[in-house]
Amino acid sequence: MTVSQLYRQVRDLFRDAQIELPELDAKLLVSAALGISISDLMLRGDDPVSETKSATAKTHAEKRLAGMPVGRILGEREFYGRRFVMNPATLEPRSDTEALIDAVLALSVPTQEQLFCDLGTGTGAIAVTLLAEMKRSRMVAVDLSFEALSCASENADLHEVSDRFLPLCADYASALAGAKSGVFDWVVSNPPYIRTHDLGMLSPEVIQHDPVLALDGGVTGLDSYVRIIAQAEMLLKSGGRIALEIGFDQAGAVEKQLRHHSFGAIEIVKDLSGNDRVLLACRQ
Ligand code: GLN
């Protein structure tokens, strides 16, 4: 079998099963199984494929047909142009979250020395990307899950920012409560924000593969925001900023919490689909 034959076989299986993006998923899975880039998939279409590699591609395809997302099958995915590994304790990074990175960078000078705190870092997609983009900044990356934190540390190593990346295993900023207040320039977070009652409505790809701890925002979906905003008031310098990922219908409720805690200059940023996705605010 040749490279193109294998690709077409997997793509057709995905088309028949009405997978949303059959071409893209087949390209990602087949190229990973063969250990080549997506462009080589086309350029080296006539190369023969070994039995072992074609068996790996077929195992990947079976997992995809059983409903596992591509990122979970490969244990990694791209975020803001960089490769991030993930594990069962971490949410799969979403492209929606790239809106948070753009929003923070739009308010920053890349050479500035900023001290960030990322609450609920997961894979470290936000934390590591910001450090990679802002070469003089430093990050305290907090997660309740030790397993998630080791994944974030691996990503910090992968992108050579570990010397500016401090992982902290804690329940949000509880471990920083006794520390000197008002030292951070930024608090960033993509906390769990799905209402408990709505968890059952998430697609099987999400609810069966992303950890509930990273999704469940309590009865109102707002539990994490209430805690994070109160803690950010203590962590941030006057003039420091907060950037929060939010659910598409949560801007009003989260904005109310921010106003309640001496935050101003509130700005709502939309994602590429046009949904409210990020709230920015300034600590007064
Ligand atoms: N955006 C994610 C989803 O809807 C949820 C992420 C989160 O709760 N932080 O699948």
CATH at residue 37: 1.10.8
- Give percent above pLDDT 90 in the chain: 97
Same structural domain for residues 246 and 125?
yes
Euclidean distance between CA atoms 161 and 159, whole angstroms: 6
pLDDT at 178 over 90: no
pLDDT at 148 over 90: yes
Helix 3-16 crosses helix 51-65 at what angle (to 10 degrees)?
10
DSSP codes, 126-138: HHHHHHHHSTT-E
DSSP codes, 158-171: HTT-GGGEEEEESS
pLDDT of residue 268: 98
Partner residues linked to 121 by β-bridges: none
Same structural domain for residues 29 and 122?
no
- Gap from CA of 92 to ligand 1 centroid (Å): 9
Per-residue pLDDT band at 99 (split at 50, 70, 90) = very high
Question: What is the signed CA dihedral for 211, 155, 99, 31, rounded to 10 degrees?
Answer: -90
Q: Cβ contacts of residue 163 below 8 Å, gap of 6+?
A: none
Contact (Cβ atoms closer than 8 angstroms) between residue 152 and residue 119: no
Select from 86, 91, 189, 220 the residue to mutate for testing ligand 1; criterion: most ligand atoms less than 8 Å from CB.
91
pLDDT of residue 33: 98
Q: Cβ contacts of residue 146 below 8 Å, gap of 6+?
A: 169
How many contiguous H segments (helices) and E segments (strands) does the chain have? Answer: 11, 9
Structure tokens at 167: 């992982």
- Gap from CA of 199 to ligand 1 centroid (Å): 10
**pLDDT tens sequence across 225-258:** 999 999 999 999 999 999 999 999 999 999 999 9
Same structural domain for residues 63 and 95?
no
3-state SS, residue 189: strand
DSSP single-letter state for residue 110 = T
Report, as an integer, the average pLDDT of 195-212: 96
Contact (Cβ atoms closer than 8 angstroms) between residue 107 and residue 62: no
- Gap from CA of 213 to ligand 1 centroid (Å): 11
pTM over 0.85: yes
- Gap from CA of 152 to ligand 1 centroid (Å): 18
CB atoms within 10 A of CB 116: 24
Same structural domain for residues 88 and 28?
no
Same structural domain for residues 128 and 225?
yes
- Gap from CA of 263 to ligand 1 centroid (Å): 24
pLDDT of residue 179: 79
Euclidean distance between CA atoms 141 and 84, whole angstroms: 16
Same structural domain for residues 151 and 274?
yes
Q: Whose CA is nearest to atom 2 of ligand 1?
A: 215
3-state SS, residue 120: coil
pLDDT of residue 88: 96
Report, as an integer, the average pLDDT of 278-284: 97
- Gap from CA of 91 to ligand 1 centroid (Å): 8
Domain count across the chain: 2
What angle (nearest 5°) sits at the alpha carbon of residue 92, between those of residues 164 and 65? 150
Residues with CB under 6 A from ligand 1: 91, 94, 96, 190-194, 206, 215
Report, as an integer, the average pLDDT of 57-85: 97
Range of the domain at 44: 3-68
Same structural domain for residues 53 and 145?
no
Q: Which of ligand 1's atoms lies nearest the C-alpha of 216? A: 8
- Gap from CA of 270 to ligand 1 centroid (Å): 15
pLDDT of residue 180: 79
CATH number at residue 240: 3.40.50.150
Cβ-based burial of 14 (10 A; exposed 0-12, middle 13-18, buried ≥19): buried
Report, as an integer, the average pLDDT of 111-129: 97
Q: Which of ligand 1's atoms lies nearest the C-alpha of 217? A: 8
**pLDDT tens sequence across 24-39:** 999 999 999 999 999 9
Q: Whose CA is nearest to atom 5 of ligand 1?
A: 215
Mean pLDDT of the chain: 97
Same structural domain for residues 145 and 238?
yes
Pick 179 or 48 by higher pLDDT: 48
Phi-psi region of 130 (alpha: psi -120 to 50; beta: other; left: phi over 0): alpha
pLDDT at 153 over 90: yes
Same structural domain for residues 168 and 48?
no
Q: Which of ligand 1's atoms lies nearest the C-alpha of 91? A: 6
